[in-house]
Amino acid sequence: MSIEITALSKSFGDFPAVNNVNLKVETGEMVAFLGPSGSGKTTLLRIIAGLEFADSGNIFFSGEDVSEKSANERKAGFVFQSYALFNHMTIFENIAFGLRVVPRNKRLSKQEIRECVLSLLDTIQLSGLENRFPVQLSGGQRQRVAFARALAVKPRVLLLDEPFGALDAKVRRELRAWLSEFHNKTQLTSLFVTHDQEEAFEVANRVVIIHNGTIQQIGYPDEVRSKPANSFIHDFLALDI
Ligand SMILES: Nc1ncnc2c1ncn2[C@@H]1O[C@H](COP(=O)(O)OP(=O)(O)OP(=O)(O)O)[C@@H](O)[C@H]1O
Ligand SMILES: [Mg+2]
């Protein structure tokens, strides 16, 4: 599914957090939003997810205007850094959560939910751990469970806000590689927020550099590094060219 954003703006009081953003993400792309703290990355992602609403501008999912639709109707899967697992539930129940809360007439059968959860456990390479509780997993394993929970509802797009932010460098690198491989396999259109340029350049097809709520440059990783559009980007990336 493609995502198109046109003239999107959002202020908190008189502070413009997102300022006239225009962006087209093609089906199957993995795009990183890269920018310093407070630049508006999370706000933009939340507006795309339907967790927050813009003051003006529109969002299209494959040509359909979803600007007024709820997060549920948009069917986006999200993984946030702070989106902790439910500690009192097993890994199985955590992943099944989104499948159990749908209205009865749309809900999968018990057996179908079981099959779906077991297949997702296989995807995140945690088969056999379904009866454990979150505290019995490592940080990286927990983060993969958060992914599985987001994927269970068969999202049309995947929105990731610093999903590896709290993890140590080694686990981050492992999860990055895992995410790239996962994306290559599924080709699920994905948006990925980070302030870590190494992460952005390694995982994303294209990078969107954000500063003060506005897009400074959109480009392929090589392009952004070899031809930064302005001095802010040059300094932010600490380029030596
Ligand atoms: N609910 C809110 N009310 C008021 N101001 C807000 C709110 N949410 C965000 N802001 C402000 O909007 C700006 C953009 O915030 P946002 O969370 O989008 O930044 P970010 O790029 O995700 O930063 P970080 O890298 O630190 O997560 C910040 O200046 C922030 O203080
Ligand atoms: Mg943020």
The domains found in the chain, sorted by start residue, are 28-54+67-75+157-241 (3.40.50.300), 83-155 (no CATH)
pTM: 0.91
Question: Quick one: pLDDT band at residue 241, thresholds 50, 70, 90?
Answer: low
Considering only CA atoms, which residue is closest to atom 24 of ligand 1?
A: 37
Q: Which atom of ligand 1 has the smallest separation from the CA of 43?
A: 18
The stretch 16-26 carries a mean pLDDT of 98
Which ligand minimizes its atom distance to the CA of 44? 1
> What angle, 0 to 180 degrees and rounded to 10, lies between the N-to-C axes of helices 139-152 and 91-100?
20
In tens, the pLDDT along 155-201 reads 989 999 998 877 788 888 888 888 898 899 889 999 999 988 989 99
The three-state secondary structure class of 222 is: helix
DSSP 83-139: ----TTS-HHHHHHHHHHSS-GGGPPPHHHHHHHHHHHHHHTT-TT-TTS-GGGS-H
